Amino acid sequence: MLRNKIFVGIILFHFLLIFLFIPGLLFNIDSSKDCENGSGYTLFDFEHRTLPITYSFNSSVPQMIKDQTVIALEIWDNLISINLFERNNTDFTLFFEHRKISPEDRLFYDLDNPIGYADIYRNRSNNGDFDYFYNATIVFNLDYQFEDLEFSCNIWDSILSNKTVDILSIALHEIGHVLGLDHTLMYSLTMSPSYQGTFQKTLAQGDINGFNELFGGYEI
Protein backbone atom coordinates (compact mmCIF):
# COMPACT_ATOMS: atom_id res chain seq x y z
CA MET A 1 0.00 0.00 0.00
CA LEU A 2 2.82 2.40 0.91
CA ARG A 3 4.57 1.55 -2.35
CA ASN A 4 1.41 2.39 -4.30
CA LYS A 5 1.09 5.75 -2.54
CA ILE A 6 4.70 6.58 -3.32
CA PHE A 7 4.17 5.62 -6.96
CA VAL A 8 1.06 7.81 -7.22
CA GLY A 9 2.94 10.65 -5.53
CA ILE A 10 5.77 10.40 -8.07
CA ILE A 11 3.27 10.51 -10.95
CA LEU A 12 1.52 13.56 -9.49
CA PHE A 13 4.87 15.28 -8.97
CA HIS A 14 5.81 14.76 -12.62
CA PHE A 15 2.44 16.05 -13.78
CA LEU A 16 3.02 19.15 -11.65
CA LEU A 17 6.43 19.68 -13.24
CA ILE A 18 4.92 19.37 -16.72
CA PHE A 19 2.13 21.82 -15.90
CA LEU A 20 4.48 24.42 -14.43
CA PHE A 21 7.49 24.25 -16.71
CA ILE A 22 6.49 22.94 -20.13
CA PRO A 23 4.22 25.96 -20.91
CA GLY A 24 7.13 28.21 -20.08
CA LEU A 25 9.32 26.41 -22.60
CA LEU A 26 6.65 26.40 -25.29
CA PHE A 27 5.29 29.90 -24.86
CA ASN A 28 8.27 31.77 -23.43
CA ILE A 29 6.48 33.08 -20.36
CA ASP A 30 9.58 34.82 -19.00
CA SER A 31 8.44 38.45 -18.92
CA SER A 32 11.94 39.73 -19.60
CA LYS A 33 11.75 38.04 -23.01
CA ASP A 34 8.09 38.67 -23.87
CA CYS A 35 8.60 42.43 -23.98
CA GLU A 36 11.85 42.39 -25.92
CA ASN A 37 11.69 44.76 -28.88
CA GLY A 38 12.57 43.25 -32.23
CA SER A 39 13.67 45.60 -34.99
CA GLY A 40 12.44 43.71 -38.06
CA TYR A 41 9.39 44.58 -40.14
CA THR A 42 7.61 43.76 -43.40
CA LEU A 43 5.79 46.21 -45.68
CA PHE A 44 2.93 45.96 -48.14
CA ASP A 45 3.52 47.14 -51.69
CA PHE A 46 1.23 50.16 -51.74
CA GLU A 47 1.63 53.86 -51.00
CA HIS A 48 -0.46 56.64 -49.52
CA ARG A 49 -0.98 59.50 -51.95
CA THR A 50 -3.39 61.57 -49.87
CA LEU A 51 -3.15 62.43 -46.19
CA PRO A 52 -4.80 62.66 -43.76
CA ILE A 53 -6.73 59.40 -43.89
CA THR A 54 -10.32 60.27 -43.03
CA TYR A 55 -12.20 57.78 -40.86
CA SER A 56 -15.63 57.03 -39.43
CA PHE A 57 -17.36 54.41 -37.26
CA ASN A 58 -20.37 52.25 -37.97
CA SER A 59 -23.18 52.93 -35.50
CA SER A 60 -22.81 49.38 -34.14
CA VAL A 61 -19.33 50.05 -32.73
CA PRO A 62 -19.52 50.36 -28.90
CA GLN A 63 -18.21 53.56 -27.35
CA MET A 64 -15.37 51.80 -25.53
CA ILE A 65 -14.09 50.35 -28.81
CA LYS A 66 -14.40 53.77 -30.45
CA ASP A 67 -12.44 55.43 -27.64
CA GLN A 68 -9.63 52.86 -27.72
CA THR A 69 -9.48 52.96 -31.51
CA VAL A 70 -9.07 56.74 -31.44
CA ILE A 71 -6.20 56.27 -28.97
CA ALA A 72 -4.63 53.78 -31.40
CA LEU A 73 -4.96 56.29 -34.25
CA GLU A 74 -3.29 58.93 -32.07
CA ILE A 75 -0.41 56.60 -31.17
CA TRP A 76 0.43 56.13 -34.85
CA ASP A 77 -0.26 59.82 -35.53
CA ASN A 78 2.21 60.92 -32.87
CA LEU A 79 5.08 59.25 -34.74
CA ILE A 80 5.03 61.94 -37.42
CA SER A 81 4.73 65.71 -37.48
CA ILE A 82 1.86 65.83 -39.97
CA ASN A 83 -1.75 64.81 -39.42
CA LEU A 84 -2.20 61.16 -40.44
CA PHE A 85 -5.85 60.73 -39.46
CA GLU A 86 -8.90 62.94 -39.33
CA ARG A 87 -12.45 62.04 -38.39
CA ASN A 88 -15.05 62.71 -41.08
CA ASN A 89 -18.45 61.03 -40.91
CA THR A 90 -19.51 61.90 -44.46
CA ASP A 91 -16.38 61.67 -46.60
CA PHE A 92 -14.10 58.94 -45.28
CA THR A 93 -11.62 56.39 -46.60
CA LEU A 94 -11.33 54.27 -43.43
CA PHE A 95 -14.40 52.70 -41.84
CA PHE A 96 -14.62 50.74 -38.58
CA GLU A 97 -17.20 48.00 -37.99
CA HIS A 98 -18.05 45.68 -35.08
CA ARG A 99 -19.87 42.60 -36.36
CA LYS A 100 -19.74 38.88 -36.90
CA ILE A 101 -17.53 37.77 -39.75
CA SER A 102 -19.62 35.82 -42.23
CA PRO A 103 -18.62 32.38 -43.55
CA GLU A 104 -18.44 33.96 -47.01
CA ASP A 105 -15.94 36.57 -45.81
CA ARG A 106 -13.88 33.91 -44.05
CA LEU A 107 -13.73 31.88 -47.25
CA PHE A 108 -13.04 34.85 -49.52
CA TYR A 109 -10.28 36.31 -47.32
CA ASP A 110 -8.94 32.90 -46.25
CA LEU A 111 -9.67 33.59 -42.58
CA ASP A 112 -10.36 31.15 -39.76
CA ASN A 113 -11.94 33.08 -36.89
CA PRO A 114 -9.88 36.27 -36.69
CA ILE A 115 -10.15 38.76 -33.87
CA GLY A 116 -10.24 41.46 -36.51
CA TYR A 117 -9.08 42.18 -40.02
CA ALA A 118 -8.39 45.06 -42.37
CA ASP A 119 -9.98 44.91 -45.82
CA ILE A 120 -7.83 47.23 -47.95
CA TYR A 121 -8.64 48.41 -51.46
CA ARG A 122 -5.89 49.69 -53.72
CA ASN A 123 -5.74 51.47 -57.06
CA ARG A 124 -3.01 51.26 -59.67
CA SER A 125 -1.07 54.41 -60.50
CA ASN A 126 -1.52 55.93 -63.96
CA ASN A 127 1.88 54.74 -65.15
CA GLY A 128 1.36 51.33 -63.52
CA ASP A 129 4.47 51.60 -61.37
CA PHE A 130 2.82 51.14 -57.97
CA ASP A 131 -0.44 50.67 -56.08
CA TYR A 132 -1.82 53.36 -53.83
CA PHE A 133 -4.29 53.24 -50.96
CA TYR A 134 -7.90 53.86 -51.94
CA ASN A 135 -9.98 52.91 -48.89
CA ALA A 136 -10.27 50.30 -46.16
CA THR A 137 -12.64 48.74 -43.66
CA ILE A 138 -11.45 47.43 -40.31
CA VAL A 139 -13.74 44.81 -38.75
CA PHE A 140 -13.67 43.88 -35.06
CA ASN A 141 -15.10 40.38 -34.67
CA LEU A 142 -18.27 40.26 -32.56
CA ASP A 143 -17.37 36.71 -31.46
CA TYR A 144 -14.67 38.14 -29.17
CA GLN A 145 -14.97 40.15 -25.99
CA PHE A 146 -12.99 43.38 -26.30
CA GLU A 147 -11.73 45.05 -23.15
CA ASP A 148 -9.25 47.72 -22.15
CA LEU A 149 -6.89 45.28 -20.43
CA GLU A 150 -3.96 46.15 -18.22
CA PHE A 151 -0.53 46.10 -19.84
CA SER A 152 1.44 42.94 -19.10
CA CYS A 153 4.61 41.37 -20.49
CA ASN A 154 3.26 37.90 -19.78
CA ILE A 155 2.10 36.07 -22.90
CA TRP A 156 0.28 33.57 -20.66
CA ASP A 157 -2.32 36.24 -19.88
CA SER A 158 -3.69 36.12 -23.43
CA ILE A 159 -3.77 32.32 -23.51
CA LEU A 160 -5.95 32.20 -20.40
CA SER A 161 -8.23 35.03 -21.51
CA ASN A 162 -10.86 32.82 -23.21
CA LYS A 163 -11.64 35.11 -26.15
CA THR A 164 -11.24 38.28 -24.10
CA VAL A 165 -8.68 40.45 -25.87
CA ASP A 166 -7.21 43.90 -25.53
CA ILE A 167 -8.90 46.26 -27.98
CA LEU A 168 -6.03 48.74 -28.17
CA SER A 169 -3.61 45.98 -29.22
CA ILE A 170 -5.98 44.85 -31.98
CA ALA A 171 -6.76 48.38 -33.18
CA LEU A 172 -3.06 49.28 -33.37
CA HIS A 173 -2.38 46.13 -35.38
CA GLU A 174 -5.18 46.59 -37.92
CA ILE A 175 -4.46 50.30 -38.38
CA GLY A 176 -0.85 49.31 -38.99
CA HIS A 177 -2.05 47.29 -41.98
CA VAL A 178 -3.92 50.30 -43.33
CA LEU A 179 -0.73 52.34 -43.06
CA GLY A 180 1.16 49.72 -45.05
CA LEU A 181 2.71 47.39 -42.47
CA ASP A 182 2.43 43.66 -43.14
CA HIS A 183 2.79 40.86 -40.59
CA THR A 184 6.20 40.14 -39.13
CA LEU A 185 7.23 36.80 -37.65
CA MET A 186 8.66 38.54 -34.58
CA TYR A 187 5.95 37.80 -32.02
CA SER A 188 6.97 40.62 -29.67
CA LEU A 189 5.84 43.26 -32.20
CA THR A 190 2.38 44.76 -32.53
CA MET A 191 2.42 43.58 -36.16
CA SER A 192 2.86 39.92 -35.19
CA PRO A 193 0.42 37.75 -37.20
CA SER A 194 -1.40 36.68 -34.04
CA TYR A 195 -2.54 38.23 -30.79
CA GLN A 196 0.11 37.51 -28.17
CA GLY A 197 -0.89 39.67 -25.21
CA THR A 198 -1.35 43.19 -23.95
CA PHE A 199 2.31 44.08 -24.47
CA GLN A 200 1.24 44.58 -28.10
CA LYS A 201 -0.59 47.75 -27.06
CA THR A 202 2.86 49.38 -27.08
CA LEU A 203 4.59 49.72 -30.44
CA ALA A 204 7.90 47.87 -30.62
CA GLN A 205 11.01 49.11 -32.40
CA GLY A 206 10.28 47.04 -35.50
CA ASP A 207 6.79 48.57 -35.80
CA ILE A 208 8.31 52.05 -35.58
CA ASN A 209 11.10 51.20 -38.02
CA GLY A 210 8.58 50.04 -40.61
CA PHE A 211 6.46 53.14 -40.09
CA ASN A 212 9.51 55.38 -40.52
CA GLU A 213 10.37 53.73 -43.82
CA LEU A 214 6.82 54.30 -45.05
CA PHE A 215 6.34 57.86 -43.85
CA GLY A 216 9.78 59.29 -43.18
CA GLY A 217 9.58 61.26 -46.41
CA TYR A 218 6.47 63.07 -45.18
CA GLU A 219 8.28 64.72 -42.27
CA ILE A 220 8.22 68.54 -42.26
Q: Are residues 27 and 72 in the same domain?
A: no
**Burial bucket for residue 128 (CB in 10 Å: 0-12, 13-18, 19+):** exposed
Q: Are residues 101 and 186 in the same domain?
A: yes
Averaged pLDDT, 110-132: 86
> How does residue 156 score in pLDDT terms, banded at 50, 70 and 90?
low
Q: pLDDT at position 130, please?
A: 76
CA gap 196, 212 in Å, rounded: 24
- Name residues whose C-beta falls within 8 Å of residue 102's C-beta, 6 or more positions apart in sequence: none
Q: pLDDT at position 102, please?
A: 86
- Name residues whose C-beta falls within 8 Å of residue 38's C-beta, 6 or more positions apart in sequence: 184, 186, 188, 189, 204, 205, 206
**Cα dihedral 75, 137, 120, 200 in deg (nearest 10):** 40
Give the CATH number, domain containing residue 163.
Answer: 3.40.390.10
Q: pLDDT at position 78, please?
A: 95
Q: Are residues 136 and 206 in the same domain?
A: yes
* Half-sphere CA count of 219, side-chain side, radius 13 A: 9
pLDDT reading at 191 higher than 60: yes
| Full domain range(s) for residue 17 | 1-34
> How does residue 142 score in pLDDT terms, banded at 50, 70 and 90?
very high
Q: Are residues 125 and 46 in the same domain?
A: yes
Share above pLDDT 90 across residues of the chain, in percent, rounded to a whole number: 56
Q: CA torsion sign, 124 to 126 to 132 to 136?
A: negative
- Give residue-wise pLDDT tens across range 33-52: 457 778 899 999 999 988 99
Q: pLDDT at position 159, please?
A: 53
Q: Are residues 118 and 202 in the same domain?
A: yes
Which is more confident, 164 or 135?
Answer: 135
Q: Are residues 28 and 99 in the same domain?
A: no
What domain count does the chain have?
A: 2
